[in-house]
Amino acid sequence: MADAPVPEFATPAGVPHHVAIVMDGNGRWAQKRHLPRVAGHKQGVDALRGTVRACLDRGIPVLTVFAFSSENWNRPVEEVSGLMELLALALSREVPKLSESGVRLFFPGDRAGLSKRVVQGLQAAEDKTAQNQRLVLNVCFNYGGRWDIAQAARRLAAAGQEITEQSLAENTALAHVGDPDLMIRTGGEMRISNFLLWQAAYTELFFTPCLWPDFDAAELDRALADFASRERRFGKTSGQLEKPAPGAASVGGLQHA
């Protein structure tokens, strides 16, 4: 859970406030080119860099990506080791550039199983970017939706607090941002794979066969166009929805005058 609150920013009508992405397909991208799987992950870092830039250009204030799930430890040892090295390298190279662009970094996830070097790198990146406000980038690392719900419940139980929907939401690893409006999964699979289980209750889902290393601004725009065409009712009927006033802005997927 974040120590400092993240300010809310209005977004243009039809533009999601919070986009989440399951970055799938790195390994298959590499295998198609007869390259080691880690090569796909390296190319995936480039795709993430471009996606961050595209979100900045489009005025999307929150981007959350699934970088390493709690289940990914079951992958081949050499791939996991390569991912850890890639993370350390990406932190040293990318964080200064991201900070210059006004990006604030968070790394939601369980740090208990990570090396001291990685944990220190994550904390240093969060500290360095703590004052930035153009874009919140949540890089979920060693994260799982079930873990997130369980750790929130444990936190409340340890404090002797009542477990309610509100108190649980306030103690999740992404309590510093609103729920995602749009979740994109690349790679052709049609599931969310234990990502943001609590937060995705009313999230619009967009699945694309595009492998993550090939994901670009044009593919993001296709997802955004699809999102803009949908009617978000949040349990209501179409007739109950209020028509937005001229010039209304959307915050967290809801219309605000």
Contact 72, 80 (CB under 8 A): yes
**Which of 24, 148, 179, 181 is flagged as catalytic?**
24
Helices 77-100 and 116-128, packing angle to 10 deg: 20
**Ramachandran angles phi, psi of 58, nearest 5°:** -95, 5
127 is catalytic: no
Question: Which string of b and e fits 62-94 if b means at least 16 CB within 10 Å?
Answer: bbbbbbbbbebeeeeeebeebbbebbbebbeeb
**Which of 3, 26, 46, 72 is flagged as catalytic?**
72
Q: Where are the alpha helices (DSSP H) in 60-115?
A: 77-100
At residue 157, what is the residue type?
A
Helices 217-228 and 37-58, packing angle to 10 deg: 60
The secondary structure of residue 247, as a DSSP letter, is T
138 is catalytic: no
Active site residues: 24, 72
